[in-house]
Structure formats: structure tokens, C-alpha cells
Structure 1
Amino acid sequence: MEPEYITHNFQPIYDKESRILMLGTMPSPKSREVGFYYGHPRNRFWKVISDVCGEELPLTKEEKIAFALRNRIAVWDVLAGCEIKGADDGSIRNAKANDMKRILDHADIRAIFTTGTKAAQLYKRYCYPETGVEAIGLPSTSPANCRTTYEELYRAYSVIAGCLQD
């Protein structure tokens, strides 16, 4: 498979009440196909954060946006564009970062979390020098990360609950 240059075309989910920012790397081919974050049916992102927040799993794009905003969770990706082979984050080249100020200047973000090792590395390289805000790396919820059990994901993602308290 040849790498192709992909441009991120999803709007970030946030409002002025957002308290945490969850950052992936770049939308996967399946997410781009369905037009929304963590769109692969086996991606565990929406399940784990809804369980951590004690809510039912949101199913539609509209339910997911409402869930995120209600729980003061901003959702975006580190990259605005890159060369990538399919969904292989390890193949990313020629990365261009999103401007995190778009959210950080308009919301009271108290913590930034990345969903996966590559997102953490890219954030540290491209975004941290601009934001000065460390990101906490969490395990990937991707179906490719099958060695991390759901219980392990739940324990790791439970850290976000403490950041949502006033």
C-alpha cells in the first residue's frame, strides 16, 4: 500500500465548558468513511469514556457530540494532515499539526490526554512547544491494540473522571 496525503476534515468537538481534551493521531480510513471520530465499529473509545462517565453508550454522531459536550470533553486529533499508509500510525510522514490554540484559547482545558503512543509522540513533538501543556498518554482504543484488554483501558481512562470535577 502506498502512502497518501490525508487532510483532517472533522471539526473539533468542544465548547467553552470543555475541561479535558482527548487527542487521537489522525482519523482512520473507517473514521473518514463514516465522517466522525473513532468510527471503526471495534474502536473502544466511545464505550470506555461513556463507561468512565457512567452513561449509556452514544451511538450516533449527534449522540456522541452531545455526550462529549455534556461531560465537558473536547475531542480532536493532533494532526491536521500527513502522509499515511491506511491506518498505520507508524507510517506517518510529513506531519502537520492542528493548532491547539483553537481549543485552548476558548475553553478551560485542565488536562490533555492522547489516545495512543503515536498521538503522544506527535503531540510532544509538534504541539507541546506551542502549548507548554503536557499531555497524558493513554492506551490506544483502536482494534489494532488488541493486547490491551477492555478492563485495562477502563482503568487507564478512569483518570479523566478526576479532571472533570469542579
Structure 2
Amino acid sequence: MAHTPTLVTHTIEPLFDSRSRVLMLGTMPSPKSREYGFYYGHPRNRFWPVMACLWDEPPATTIAEKKALMLRHRLAVWDVLAGCEIVGASDASIKRPRPNDLARIIDAAPIEAVVTCGSAATRYYERFDAPRWPELPHLALPSTSPANARMSLDALVKAYAPVKELTEGGEAAAGVLAALAPTAAAVSDPEDSAPGVSAPGDAR
């Protein structure tokens, strides 16, 4: 396996509309996601199964179905970084990170909370974005990559349950928001533990 960093630019458009309430952020599209043309494009990444389980819906299989699922539940999706040098899909190998301008979404939609998916996304959000929006509640969640093998699908669904509460508003959302500090502590993921080593199959 080659360990030469590649300069990568983010080319997948953010997904949001005027109803989006929660912004979900990854780090950077993996090679598989760039090839697929949408977020979490590796077939073994569990992001989309988790989203379907949260709302007890059939799994979304096409890009159109995935977009519809997110917008239906008032979720926006993007990544923290607009570009970087990276080896495969290894977030731990990232150098020269360049952030996306999240104002594109935050200024256009009624975003009430930010969710980062994986410890690298959390780190870069706290570095580049949390100081700009210190009042915006931030929830750090574990990665859905198969590199995070210690967490089963059921465990991930349980960890992501606050996302559903945040999108639905009311007392449940208020409880989650009240529990969140302005920025959350980083979550440790196995995918970030070994610089220069890609997650299995570039699995994001």
C-alpha cells in the first residue's frame, strides 16, 4: 500500500435547505466517497444504516434516497475540511488542512447544533470553527467507519440517538441542547490512531 500523501480538494456539494436544523460534519471525503460522488460512500461505512435505524426507515441506497432522508429529517451534511494532504482515507495522515466556510450553511439555515462524526472532524471543527461560533452547541460522536470496529451498529445507533432528538425539537431537543457544552471533548477513534495508515478499504 502506498503511503504518499495526495493533495485533495473537496468537490462534493454540501446538502442542506432552509429547514435544516442540525449540521453533521465529517472530516474529508474518502477516495471511495469521491468516486461515489456523495458522503459516506464506502459500502461498509455505517453512517447510512445508522440514519435509517434512527427513524426506523428502510435503508437509503441511492444518492437521491440519501439526500431525501437527510432533508426530510432537517439534517445538513458537509465536511470540516475543504482540502488537505492525505494518505488514502487516513485522517491521522492529514497535513496542510484547509477549512470549509461553514457560514455557507449556518447563515442560510436555522442550524441549532453541530454534530461532528469522528475524532478528526471534532479536532478540526474545534480548531477552525468553534471559535467562530462559540454559542453554537456541538456534539462529538464516534466514527461510523468500519475502522471503528469496537462499536457495533446497535452501539452506534444508541450513540447517535441525540441527533434524532435534536431534529425533532421540543423538550427532547431542549434537554440535549442543555447538556451540551459550547464545544465537546474529542472522541477517540481507532481510525485516527496510526498516522499514514489508511482505514481498511478507505472506508468512509
Alpha carbons 2:23, 2:77 under 8 Å: kept: yes
> Per residue, is there more strand in 1 or in 2?
1
Offset at residue 53 of structure 1 (A) = 1.9
- Cα offsets for 1:84-107 (capped at 9, x unmatched): 000000001100111111000011
Q: Which amino acid aligns with 1:60?
A: T
Alpha carbons 1:31, 1:37 under 8 Å: kept: yes
Between 48-57 and 7-16, report the one with greater CA deviation. 48-57
Match of 1:149 in 2: 152
Whole-angstrom CA distance in 1 between matches of 2:20 and 2:75: 5
Offset at residue 148 of structure 1 (A) = 1.1
* Bigger-Rg structure (1/2): 2
Q: Does the residue aligned with 1:80 lie in a helix, a strand or coil?
A: strand
Match for 2:138 among 132, 135, 149?
A: 135
Match of 2:198 in 1: none
Q: Which amino acid aligns with 2:141?
A: L
Q: Which amino acid aligns with 1:61?
A: I
Match of 1:66 in 2: 68
Matches within 5 A, 1:14-163: 14-132=16-134, 133-163=136-166
Q: Does the residue aligned with 1:130 lie in a helix, a strand or coil?
A: coil
Q: Which structure 1 residue ranges, 4+ long, deviate > 4 Å from structure 2?
A: none
Q: Which amino acid aligns with 1:14?
A: F
Q: Which amino acid aligns with 2:166?
A: C
Alpha carbons 2:21, 2:167 under 8 Å: kept: yes
Match of 2:172 in 1: none
Gap regions ≥5 residues in structure 2: 170-204
Offset at residue 134 of structure 1 (A) = 4.1
Whole-angstrom CA distance in 2 between matches of 1:130 and 1:94: 20
Q: Which amino acid aligns with 1:163?
A: L
Percent of aligned pairs with the same amino acid: 50
Gap regions ≥5 residues in structure 1: none
CA change 1:90–1:134 in 2 (3 A) is farther
Q: What number of residue pairs does the alignment pair up?
A: 166
Alpha carbons 1:90, 1:118 under 8 Å: kept: yes
Q: Does the residue aligned with 2:98 lie in a helix, a strand or coil?
A: strand
Compute the TM-score of the two structures, normalised by the length of structure 2. 0.79
